[in-house]
Amino acid sequence: MHVLFLSPEVWPFSHVGGLSEVSHDLPLALGRAGHQVAVITPGLNINGNSSEGLKKLDIVLDVPVSYSVQRANVYLREMGKGVNAYLIGHENMFDRDGLYGNQFGDYEDNAERFVFFSRACLELAKAMDWKVDIVHANDWTTGLVPLYMRTIYKDTACLRKAASVFTVHNIGKQGVFWHYDMPLTGLGWECFTPELIEFYGKINFLKAGLVAADMITTVSDTYLRDILTQDLGFGLEGVLNSRRDRLVAITNGVDFSVWDPATDKHLAANYDAANLENKKICQTDVRRHFGLDMEGSRPVLAVLGNLLERKGTDLVAGSADEIIQMGFDLVVMGFGDNHYHDLLDAAVKRHPQNMGLWLGFETELAHKIIAGADMILMPSRYEPCGLHQMHGMRYGTVPIVRRTGGLADTVADFDQSADGNGFVFDQYSSEAMLAALSRAKDVFAAPDRWRDLILRGMNSDFSWNSAVVNYDQVYRRALELRNNVEEAPRHD
């Protein structure tokens, strides 16, 4: 099948969260399975570091936005077998410090920016005259695309027989804008209804994808159940339940050609399950980088990712002193709310030999930390899937997680399951998190039990192989349904 894979962030062109890695790995896995995949993403700061290997195409897209036409350049880069990346370049829209916003918050013109991107994706399909089978849109930034396919682009030759698949990676981010932005979309006011994109008097881009897509996927079984509830549906649980027959969970995977301690070029030393001694060299490298006690024998506990409340950063920042007092050395890398930056920085100043902090994200350093740590802590309030717990297990780094979303689906508690590969706690509290850390530290003190736990994780299969088979089935089901779906209102 010819698949258009639309994502706001794709590694290495842009990175904010796990969507970037998924949008790189999944298309490559689809390509290896025999599909032809065109990945389309914004060209963020197109002349920066991500421009290596890009070829500017000899086409210019005329993209309608409201009553004007914006012109976009297109850049191409081959990603792998059967997979090409197309970057949409526009100076005013995408030559900015951040993808969604900067240190002052989200950009005020995000509605216009992602209307532009969504329509540019479909205009590119027209310009290239692709015969498209599947349009796979991801998260709120591309939520309008399935609705566009039913309305404005309904009679576009290359898209006429295409089916749409919409993946929800994080339902907490929905792209909600005031109704005065409706003209930007190009859709008629007949689409501004509770059945389509109206949401408490505003426009909801994510809702557009949910109501218009032929099939909907999300990224883990537990998260699927979560978002059908009032607690974690964020106001869209009714829409999701009404389309339950179109909703499928497919757990994300990990690209083991990138995440493999035996071949990882970022590491101070390589190792595998048969030779774990070199993991100690990786830990020494991490201790040196963060200025930790080089003679220390305390277990190194890592926290990576966005420093936000939903990631449990309030628990980590509020318990940093207790974690150090328990006998851990703590390493944190990420970026998020300034409040947490300040709390963590203050904790480092109190414990300079036992705690390190890196504000930002660097791919090489992330690999080094995951290889050098003994454990990785993910105390998320909610977590659609999570990737670092799977990275950690591959690298012999034991995950300690809260039982939510994809963390619940990939980590089994060592004390409660014969197949346990980590430590799990239920209650969202510092007390429950610290109790799980205490259990992990007790097992760490028993080398034979700890080695057994490490090997269970390293031998787990979290590759994309099964996920690709499931996506193939979803694509085929979407195509079957396409001819029988009740049409949304046309745009005249």
> By the 8 A CB rule, do 304 and 369 touch?
yes
Amino acid 48: pLDDT: 60
Written as one letter, the residue type at 51 is: S
**Amino acid identity for residue 480 in this structure:** E
Q: How far apart are CA 191 and CA 197, in angstroms?
A: 6
Tokens of 365: 């350093």
Q: How many angstroms separate the CA atoms of 357 and 334, rounded?
A: 8
List helix spans (H) across 373-464. Answer: 388-394, 405-410, 430-444, 447-458
Return the closest-CA partner of residue 24 out of 63, 56, 1, 50.
50
Tens digit of pLDDT at every position of the chain (492 positions): 999 999 999 999 998 989 999 999 999 999 999 999 999 999 988 766 556 789 999 999 999 999 999 999 999 999 999 999 999 999 899 998 889 998 888 999 999 999 999 999 999 999 999 999 999 999 999 999 999 999 999 999 999 999 999 999 999 999 999 999 999 999 999 999 999 999 999 999 999 999 999 999 999 999 999 999 999 999 999 999 999 999 999 999 999 989 999 999 999 999 999 999 999 999 999 999 999 999 878 999 999 999 999 999 999 999 999 999 999 999 999 999 999 999 999 999 999 999 999 999 899 999 999 999 999 999 999 999 999 999 999 999 999 999 999 999 999 999 888 889 999 999 999 999 999 999 999 999 999 999 999 999 999 889 998 899 999 999 999 999 997 754 444 444
CB 488 within 8 A of CB 212: yes
The residue to which tokens 């429950």 are assigned: 432
Q: Are 37 and 165 in contact (CB under 8 A)?
A: no
Question: Which of 106-116 are b and which e, b meaning 16 or more Cβ less than 10 Å from the residue's Cβ?
Answer: ebeebbbbbbb
Amino acid at 102: N
The 3-state secondary structure of 186-208 reads: CCCHHHCCCCCCEECCEEEHHHH
Q: What is the pLDDT of residue 50?
A: 56
Residue 195, SS3 per DSSP: coil
Name residues whose C-beta falls within 8 Å of residue 108's C-beta, 6 or more positions apart in sequence. none
